[in-house]
């Protein structure tokens, strides 16, 4: 299978999770402006939505959207969901929160037409939501001592927060440090030229 990614983009979460799962995969860097893969592929044909990530399976099927790809990786080997019937849905709940409430709030930081007021407002919303996660940390990771795919996504949001100069609650600073020491995280950062 092939992961289509852009360095440091949200696709880094999927990249880390695939390494954490010990799955074998190829990487294709995408030029998001030109919509071209580094292998010469026309990315608009791989993912007509035009954004990363996309995971192309060997049979030609393509899965897009961080939530779906991370849920697929969770099913194929990363960490443990919380116990009980609701466990897998708790992971989905967390992925949805990170995607829709945190990831999307970064929009003004990536939109050249956004003014400082929009950025300040977004920064406050992000900080509030990060604080909610910091208050709920259950040990080293979001769901306890074991990493889950949601931790991979949260890690990328913290990298972005640092890059944008946003305040990160202390427990999540420590979480980011812990994540950075994981071999799978280091590997993904190296592969994306970010280490």
The residue assigned the tokens 């910091």 is 134
The residue assigned the tokens 């970064």 is 106
Phi, psi angles (nearest 5°) of residue 58: -65, -25
Cβ proximity to ligand GSH: between 80 and 191 the closer is 191
Cβ proximity to ligand GSH: between 33 and 181 the closer is 33
Residue 1, C-beta contacts closer than 8 angstroms, at least 6 positions apart:
23, 25, 26, 55, 56, 57, 58
51: contact with ligand GSH by CB under 6 A: yes
Instruction: Tell the smallest beta-carbon distance from residue 166 to ligand GSH (Å).
Output: 16
Part in contact with ligand GSH (CB under 6 A); list of ranges 47-55, 115-123, 136-144, 184-192: 47-55
The mark string for 58-77 relative to ligand GSH (x by CB under 6 A, - otherwise) is: -------xx-----------
Q: Supply the angle between the helices 66-75 and 87-96 in degrees, to the nearest 10.
A: 150
Residues that bind ligand GSH (CB under 6 A): 6, 9-10, 32, 50-53, 65-66, 99
């Amino acid at each position: 299978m092939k992961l289509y990614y852009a360095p440091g983009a949200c696709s880094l979460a999927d990249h880390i999770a695939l390494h954490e799962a010990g799955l074998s995969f190829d990487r294709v860097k995408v030029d998001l402006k030109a919509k071209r893969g580094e292998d010469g592929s026309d990315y608009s044909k791989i993912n007509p939505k035009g954004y990363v990530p996309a995971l192309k399976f060997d049979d030609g099927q393509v899965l897009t959207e961080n939530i779906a790809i991370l849920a697929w990786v969770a099913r194929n080997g990363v960490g443990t969901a919380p116990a009980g019937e609701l466990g897998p849905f708790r992971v989905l709940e967390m992925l949805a929160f990170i995607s829709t409430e945190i990831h999307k709030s970064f929009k003004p930081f990536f939109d050249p037409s956004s003014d400082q007021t929009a950025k300040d407002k977004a920064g406050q919303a992000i900080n509030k939501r990060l604080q909610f996660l910091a208050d709920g940390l259950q040990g080293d990771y979001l769901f306890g001592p074991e990493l889950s795919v949601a931790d991979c996504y949260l890690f990328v949001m913290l990298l972005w927060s640092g890059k944008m100069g946003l305040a990160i609650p202390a427990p999540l600073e420590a979480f980011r440090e812990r994540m950075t020491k994981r071999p799978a995280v280091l590997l993904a950062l190296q592969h994306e030229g970010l280490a």
